[in-house]
Amino acid sequence: AYLGDEDLTQETRDLISSLPKEKGWLVSEMYQYQGRWHTQALLQGILICQKRFEAKDSDIILVTNPKSGTTWLKALVFALLNRHKFPISSSGNHPLLVTNPHLLVPFLEGVYYESPDFDFSGLPSPRLMNTHISHLSLPESIKSSSCKIVYCCRNPKDMFVSLWHFGKKLAPEETAAYPIEKAVETFCEGKFIGGPFWDHILEYWYASRENPNKVLFVTYEDLKKQTEAEMKRIAEFLGCGFIEEEEVREIAKLCSFESLSDLEVNRQGKLPNGMETKTFFRKGEIGGWSDTLSESLAAEIDRTIEEKFHGSGLIF
Ligand code: A3P
C-alpha cells in the first residue's frame, strides 16, 4: 500500500509545504529539496531514508541518475557478490534468470516511501542497495561509515532520450502534451524531475577523486565497451577477492542487454508497484540518442555539457 498524506509526520508535511514547487514534465507538482526537484513520493522516501537509514561499514550502495544503467549495474554487482552462492556455470536456476534485478537489489528511497518502517538490518551481509539520492543529500551514516559507493553515469544525451521514451511509455498523455523541445530546455536548466542531473554527476565525480576508496566512478559507456575490465575494477574496489576470467565472462554474458531483455521475467513480468519490467529494457546502446534528438536539440545538450563539465576532467 502506498503512503497517504495521513501517514506523514507533521514535521514532514510542514517541510514539504515550505519547499519551492513547480509543475514539471510528467508531474503536476515537483518540489525542490536540497537543490534537486522531486515528486512528492520520492521526496517522502528520501526524507525517511535520511532519518532512518543506518549504514554499515560492509554496505555497498549503487548510485545512478535514472536511466543511466541502474538495472544493469544491479544485475552485475548482484551476480559478482553472490557468485559462490549462485554459481553461473552450473545454473539454469540463477536468481537473475527468474527475477528482475530491481527485485534483487532494494531501492532505498522507493522502499522507504512504500514502507516507512522497513528494516534493512535483515538483509544478508554485505547489504547491496541502490539509490538516486545526490551526494549532498545522502544519509549521514553513508558518508561517515566505510561503506562503498559505486556510481554509474551515462552520456547525458542518451540518458535524456532514455528518460523521454520511458516517460512516454509510463504516461503517454502527459508526454504528448509536453513537446520534446521543452523537455530538453528544462532538462538542461535542471528543472526536471530528479534534476539537475549535472550536479548529481559532478558531486559524485569529485567525491570519487577525493576519496577513491569510498566512491568508484564508472560509466555506462565503459561498461558497454569493456564490460569485463570494468567488472574487474568494480570487483577489486569492492574487495571481492580472486575471480576466474571465465567467471567474469559468464557474469558479463548473463547480465548483457541481449540476455536479460530476452528473459520471460523481463518481457512479461511486473514489479509489485505494477510497473512492467520490460520498460527497463529498450535499446541498450551507446549513441542511440541520434534517432530521437534533432541536431539543434543535441547541440543544446552539448552546450550544457560543455558549460557544466568544463574543467572538471569529465568528458562525454
Ligand atoms: P535505453 O533506453 O537507452 O535503451 P536504468 O536501468 O537506469 O533505468 O536505465 C535504463 C537504460 O539502460 C535503458 O537504456 C535500457 O535499455 C538500458 N539497459 C537495461 N539493461 C541493460 C543491460 N543489461 N545492458 C545495457 N543496457 C541496459
pLDDT at 90: 66
pLDDT at 184: 97
Q: All 3 cell numbers of residue 28?
A: 503536476
Pocket around ligand 1 at a 6 A CB cut-off: 64, 66-72, 158, 162, 165, 255-257, 260, 280-284, 288
Q: How far is the CA of 286 from the centre of ligand 1 (A)?
A: 10
pTM of the predicted structure, to 2 decimals: 0.96
pLDDT at 172: 83
* Sites in the chain below the pLDDT cut of 70: 1-7, 90-91
pLDDT at 117: 92
Q: Which region holds residue 274: left if phi is over 0, alpha if psi is between -120 and 50, else beta?
A: left
Query: Quick one: which atom of ligand 1 is closest to the CA of 255?
Result: 23
DSSP character string of 291-315? GTS-HHHHHHHHHHHHHHHTTTT--
Q: Which region holds residue 287: left if phi is over 0, alpha if psi is between -120 and 50, else beta?
A: left
| Fold annotation for 5-309 | Rossmann fold (3.40.50)
Query: Quick one: which atom of ligand 1 is closest to the CA of 158?
Result: 3
List the domain boundaries for the chain.
5-309
pLDDT at 18: 96
**Are 36 and 134 contacting, i.e. CB atoms less than 8 angstroms apart?**
yes
Q: Is residue 84 flagged as an active site residue?
A: no
Query: Quick one: which atom of ligand 1 is closest to the CA of 159?
Result: 3
pLDDT at 1: 41
pLDDT at 4: 63
d(CA 43, CA 310): 30
Q: How far is the CA of 72 from the centre of ligand 1 (A)?
A: 7
Question: Which member of 38, 102, 132, 135 is catalytic?
Answer: 132
Q: All 3 cell numbers of residue 230?
A: 570494468
pLDDT at 7: 67
ipTM confidence score:
0.99
Q: How far is CA 184 from CA 112, 152, 188, 206, 280, in A?
A: 31, 22, 6, 26, 21
d(CA 299, CA 222): 23
- Which string of b and e fits 202-227 if b means at least 16 CB within 10 Å? bbbbbbbeeeeebbbbbbbbebbeeb
Angle at 13 between CA 9 and CA 14, to 5 degrees: 115
